Structures are given as structure tokens and as C-alpha cells.
Amino acid sequence: MSAILSANTVMPTNVYSQYEISEVLSDVWGEHAKAAKRFHDHSKVETRNLALKLEQYKSLGDFGSRNDLWIKHAVPLATKAVTNALAQSTLQAKDIDLIISTSITGIAVPSLEARLMNLMNFKDDTKRMPLFGLGCLGGAACVARAHDYLTAYPTHAVLITATELCSLTFQLDDQSIANMVATGLFADGSAAVVMVGKEHAKYQDAKLTVIDSMSAFYPETERIMGWDINQNGFKIVLSGDVPALVQDKVPNGVKKFLDRHQYHLSDIGEVIAHPGGPKVLDALAKALDVDSSWLRHSWESLAKNGNMSSVSVLDILSRTLKTSIDSEKLGILMAMGPAFCSEMVLTKRVP
């Protein structure tokens, strides 16, 4: 067992409506602008926060230039999210035993969590676990790996930091349907989560405990989602088959997971799910046989913040923790991403 003490999300201060973003991209895409706008209008995204001023996206440079911008903006954003999450947990940086970081939108060596260690008062023997390549799966995977670690080290505390600046990956010369969909969905943000093991002094203060985690890998789905890398950085790979995969794979995966603990889907009281996009959320509701209201935090996050890749499920976790409940409630925290695969975390929330 482990527990989540806090979850905090921070977005860049540049916030734009979907209409404003579509208008700027229309200036670049010319004859393809109408098609792009149609995808954007159906994304259910209302506003997005971006690392740069909107006009700056017309002149994004090569991979190196974009990555420099990623480091410049990711470090302070992550620092703020971590500072907030630590304050909410009432722990300090020096109390953390392991930092797990994830991002799919930039590369840094030393990695992001090492840069945070140079800015904050972490112990010099703090362990680090940077994770790359997980994409939208990343936030859920971090929670799962933190739980695995805390099961082995029940007196320890873990900090998770996820930072994504998806807007810096926009390829404005790519007029594929996948890219038009992506530029209408993805956005920027950073999230931090603090977790502790069952024998930690703060465990009893937690409002949400983690019971178990499970990974699920789906063979021969490599080109469903991911990046192709070119001179301008990360080029989106995104198949229209994602919703069908969700409906096909999720039911059996969830059943297998719950069977471990002699639970049934009817025992689950809440779902903390990465939003993906509107078609993915609709498919997930069908796969779990639940009303769309069960995914209200996912829909809210998508509308207000867009798809922030690994950050989104942690934003939805933060929103969930802010809602009150009258009695104990079992839940599933889950996300799907490149490979194609999924991560599931079984949770219990207490009043």
C-alpha cells in the first residue's frame, strides 16, 4: 500500500481560446485551414495554456531551438508545481527519497529532476528515475512505479514531476490529418504529486491510498501513437484507431486487474482517466459501461487545459482530490499511450 498526499498542476500564463489558436494556424496552413478548423472545432477544447506567445509559433525553429525553449520554460514551470505539491503535503524537499520525472516533449541531460535538485533543497542521496517515451501514459506510469517503489520501501516518500510543452512540437509544415488533430488538442503544463509508503508518518493523513498497479502491453500496435523525429523535432504519429483500441482492450484489462482483488467493475466508484480526446473519452465510457458523468473531471480538464500528455491524468487526479465524498470509494486511475499500452492504478479514497 502507498498513499497520495498531494497533487498540483501549473500551466503557463499564456492562455488562448481555441478560436484564437485556430486563427493563427489558419494563417500558416492556407488552403488546408478549413479542414484544420473543423478538427479544432470538434475537439471539445475551449482554452489552452501555451509556453510562448501565440505569434511566436509561426517561427518555431529546428529541433535544437525548440529543445532550448523546452528547457528554458520547463524548469521554472516544474519548479512551481513541485513547490506547490510539497507545500500541500507539508513535506519539504529534503524529506523526499526518490524523484520520478517524465516528459515526452523535450530532452535534457542532466534530466529535469536533476535540474530541480540544483534549485531546491533535496538531499544529495535522493534517488532519481527519469522516464522518457511514455507520452500520455507517463503520469499514470509514474504513480504506478512510485507505488511499486513504496511497496518495497514503505517508510519513504516519492515526488513525481511531469512536464509537457506540447506546443513546442507543433509541425506547421505538416498538413496531415494527424497533425491537424494534434494541434487542436495538445497543450502545455506541469504537474507534481507527493506519495508516501504505508509506514511513513504522513500515511494516515492521506485521503487517497493506492492498492495496486498493472501494466498492459498490446503487441503490434507500434504505429498507433508516438513520434517520428526529424530536423524540426517531434512529428506526431496518431492513428484514428485509438478509440476502437480503447473499446477492444480496456474491458478485459480492467477485469483482469480487478480479479486480482476479487473486485468487480460494479465496485468501482470513480475513474481518474487521461482524457485523450472526445472520441477516446466516449470510447472509454462505453468500455467501462459507465455514464459520461463518471469522467466529468476528464472532460473538464480537456475543455479548460487541452490534452497535456502525461500531465493530464495528474491534473484530473488533482481535481478529484478537491471533491468531497461521504464514504470510502474505490477508483481506477488510468491512461493509455505509445506502444500501444495502458497503465492502471487501483485506488481507495476516504472522506
Q: Where in the chain is the domain with CATH 3.40.47.10?
A: 2-204, 207-349
Point out the catalytic residue in the list 136, 142, 166, 341: 136
CATH architecture of 2-204: 3-Layer(aba) Sandwich (3.40)
Class of domain 207-349: alpha beta
- In this prediction, residues 305-314 reach a mean pLDDT of 98
In whole numbers, what is the pLDDT of the chain averaged over residues?
A: 95
User: 227-257 pLDDT, tens per residue?
Assistant: 999 999 999 999 999 999 999 999 999 999 9
pLDDT-derived band at 27 (thresholds 50, 70, 90) equals confident
Rounded to two decimals, the pTM is 0.96
d(Cα 138, Cα 339) in Å, to the nearest integer?
12
Is 341 annotated in the active site?
no
Q: How far is CA 118 from CA 87, 104, 121, 157, in A?
A: 19, 22, 8, 19
Other Cβ atoms closer than 10 A to 213: 22
Q: Could you give the residue ranges of the DSSP H alpha helices within the chain?
A: 18-29, 33-41, 63-89, 112-117, 138-152, 177-185, 242-259, 278-288, 296-305, 310-321
